[in-house]
Amino acid sequence: MSNPPWTCPVCAARLTPTTDGRSWHCLNRHSFDVARQGYLSLMTGARHPLGDTATMVRARADFLAAGWFEPIVATIAELIRRWETATFHNGPSAGESRPWLADLGGGSGYYSVELLRQLPGWRGALVDASTNAVKVAARAASRLTASGQPPEARPVPKHDPSTGEEPGLAGACADDWPGMSSHGGPRLAVACADLWAGVPLATNSIDIALDIFAPRHPAEIGRVLRPVGLAIVVTPRPDHLHQLRQSLPLMGIEADKESRLRQQFSDFRLVEHQIIEYGCLLPTQAIAQVISMGPNGFHASADQIAAMAAGLSESGPINTRVAVDVWGFGDGAGGQDERHRPGEHHHIADEVVTKSG
C-alpha cells in the first residue's frame, strides 16, 4: 500500500487518487480536491472555519521552530523507536508494510515532520481542521525528504512565478516531489478535516497515532489503530507554563484533566505515562508567540501582546510540564519495555533550556 489510507468523510469507503493526483474519490463517487497548497480537503457540510486562525498558526509554528518543545519530540521519537524494535525486531520492513504515523490535530506539522526526519522508514498522515494550519503543514511536508535529510541535493518543486505561491505537494501521487518516499507517495500526507466528524483514515491502518495538545476522539483513534498500534497523547499538566498563566488570561487547564483523559481512554490499556518537565528562559519574542498561539491571539492586538510579553520577559524560567500517555490494546503486544510501567514518572530534564536567535 503506497497511498495514504484516507477514507471518505461521507461514506467511510477508502479513497484513491486520480492519476494526476489532483483529487481523491471513493467507489460511491464522492470526490475531494487536493488544494493548490498540497493538502487534501476532506471538509464536508457547512463551511464554518474551524481550528486555529492564521495568526495562531504562525505564532505556534514560529515558537515550535525555535525548538522550545524539542524535548517532547525526543521523547516521542524514543517511544516510537522502542515500539518499532519490539514490533519489527529488525526495524521496519521494506515496501508494503512501512509503518504509518497519524498526527491528529497536527497543526503546522512540526511534530510529524520532526519525527519523520528521525524515523526514515515511516510515513505520516496529518489531519487538522484549520486550513491555515494544513497549508503550513503541506509546505513543511514538501520539504521532507525520503531519507529524512535536508533537501539540498534533491529536486525542488517548481515555483509558480505567476502566483508567487510556494509549492506544496501538488498531487498526492506525483513522483517528482522531494517529500516522496522511495516507493511513491509523499512521506507526510496532509488533510483538512473535522476530527469530530470522524478520523478520515481506514480501520486498522495506523501504527502510531499522535494527539498533541489537540482534540481527542478515542473511539476513532481505536478504530484506525492496528491491533499492535499505540496512541501517544500529549497534554499539558495544570502547571504547564504556570508563570505565564499567573499573569495572563491564557487558556486554563482543568485540574482533573488527567482523570478525564483516563476515562476517555478506558477502552485502551495505559502502556506508559511520562511527565516531561523543564524550564525555559524564554525571550520576549517567544513569550509573545505563546500568547498569540492561544485564545489571546483572537482578542488582544499585536501591541498589547508585545507589551504583555515585555512585562513577563524578566520573570525567570518558564516551566514546561506536559504528560505523555501511551495507550495500546491487549496485553502489551505493542512490545513496551517492562521497565516503563504505567504510573511511573520520568523527569527527562531538570535543567533550564536557553536558546539564542
Task: Tell me if 242 contacts Zn ion by CB under 5 A.
Answer: no
Which of 11, 94, 310, 352 is close enough to bind Zn ion by CB under 5 A? 11
With CB under 6 A, what is the number of residues at the site for ligand SAM? 20
Least distance in angstroms from the C-beta of 127 to ligand SAM: 6
Options 91-99, 102-110, 144-152, 240-248: segment touching ligand SAM (CB under 6 A): 102-110
Binders of ligand SAM among 115-154, rule CB under 6 A? 128-130, 133
Report the partner that residue 213 touches, choosing among ligand SAM, Zn ion, none (CB closer than 5 to 8 A by kind). Answer: ligand SAM
Residues in the chain: 357
Cα 80 from chain centre: 14
Binders of ligand SAM among 63-82, rule CB under 6 A? 64
Task: Tell me if 10 contacts Zn ion by CB under 5 A.
Answer: yes
DSSP string, 95-138: GGG--EEEEET-TTSHHHHHHHHH-TT-EEEEEES-HHHHHHHH
Which of 95, 155, 215, 330 is close enough to bind ligand SAM by CB under 6 A? 215
Which residues face 274 on adjacent strands? 324
Least distance in angstroms from the C-beta of 18 to ligand SAM: 25
Which residues face 189 on adjacent strands? 125
Q: Which is nearer to ligand SAM, 174 or 224 (CB)?
A: 224
The secondary structure of residue 158, as a DSSP letter, is P
Cα 299 from chain centre: 26
CA distances from 262 to 3, 198, 229, 267, 326 (A): 33, 20, 18, 9, 11
Task: Tell me if 30 contacts Zn ion by CB under 5 A.
Answer: yes
Task: Tell me if 8 contacts Zn ion by CB under 5 A.
Answer: yes
How many Cα atoms are found within 13 Å in the side-chain-facing hemisphere of 82? 19
Least distance in angstroms from the C-beta of 242 to ligand SAM: 17
Task: Tell me if 298 contacts ligand SAM by CB under 6 A.
Answer: no
Show the DSSP H helices in the chain as ranges. Answer: 54-65, 70-88, 110-118, 131-142, 218-224, 242-247, 257-264, 284-293, 296-299, 302-312
Which of 2, 16, 20, 28 is close enough to bind Zn ion by CB under 5 A? 28
Q: Among 104, 49, 50, 53, which Cα is nearest to 293's?
A: 53
The phi, psi pair for 181, rounded to 5°, reads -75, 170
How many Cα atoms are found within 13 Å in the side-chain-facing hemisphere of 145? 10
Q: Which is nearer to ligand SAM, 99 or 200 (CB)?
A: 200
Least distance in angstroms from the C-beta of 103 to ligand SAM: 7
Least distance in angstroms from the C-beta of 158 to Zn ion: 32
Per-residue binder mask for ligand SAM (CB under 6 A), 28-67, x = binder: ----------------------xxx-------x---x---
Question: Angle, to 10 degrees, between the axis of helix 284-293 and the axis of helix 302-312?
Answer: 130
Task: Tell me if 105 contacts ligand SAM by CB under 6 A.
Answer: yes
Positions touching Zn ion (CB under 5 A) are: 8, 10-11, 13, 26, 28, 30
Residues interacting with ligand SAM, by CB under 6 A?
A: 50-52, 60, 64, 105-107, 110, 128-130, 133, 194-196, 212-215
